[in-house]
């Protein structure tokens, strides 16, 4: 998602891993309609494989000022049970919005802390924002529990156990890379 007017955006490292050419599709609102524009001049500003984060910037000369998505001012205010929304292109279905709740703000997995949410997540949601009811980014959608792996172990198929990188970690990543959030 775009986080600065100058075209800086943040996504998951696993979304761009191994790519040599990156393009970004943006929907601009014009006269009440959404117009899709593909930007092919995109540079990698910073990456952190272990945190699964990548900072990119659209660098096309004639690119307009972008409308950034606001980062939650105090993500610690996010309550368990609060409604949250994910926007993405799961399975290629563009501009899909799903809704769920925050299950926990501190789920530890593989040495990292994540937001756990019941918001449905599928391939194509990764790198998109997890938003609160005011439209502020509270996390970066990253993964879901591997249902097949769990089924082999327990015999049960879990549903809607999904994860997002916390907004506080996004803010730290941006500060480390000397990019402020607008």
Active site residues: 14, 52, 126
Cα–Cα distance, 22 to 96 (Å, whole number): 22
Report whether 4 contacts 66 (CB < 8 A). yes
Report whether 75 contacts 84 (CB < 8 A). no
Report whether 38 contacts 24 (CB < 8 A). yes
Query: Per DSSP, what are the bridge partners of residue 10?
Result: 55
Cα–Cα distance, 170 to 110 (Å, whole number): 18
């Amino acid at each position: 998602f775009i986080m600065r007017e100058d075209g800086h955006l943040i996504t998951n490292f696993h979304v761009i891993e191994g790519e040599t050419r990156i393009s970004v599709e943006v929907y601009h609102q014009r006269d009440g309609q959404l117009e899709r524009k593909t930007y092919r001049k995109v540079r990698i500003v910073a990456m952190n494989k272990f945190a699964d984060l990548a900072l990119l910037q659209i660098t096309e000369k004639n690119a307009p000022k972008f409308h950034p998505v606001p980062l939650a001012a105090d993500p610690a205010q996010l309550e368990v049970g609060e409604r949250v929304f994910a926007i993405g292109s799961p399975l290629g279905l563009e501009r899909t919005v799903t809704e769920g709740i925050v299950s926990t703000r501190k789920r530890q997995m593989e040495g990292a802390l994540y937001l756990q949410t019941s918001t449905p997540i599928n391939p194509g949601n990764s790198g998109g924002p997890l938003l609160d009811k005011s439209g502020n980014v509270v996390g970066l959608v990253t993964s879901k529990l591997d249902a097949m792996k769990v089924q082999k172990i327990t015999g049960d198929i879990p549903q809607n156990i999904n994860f997002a990188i916390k907004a506080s970690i996004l803010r730290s990543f941006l500060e480390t890379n000397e990019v402020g959030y607008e």
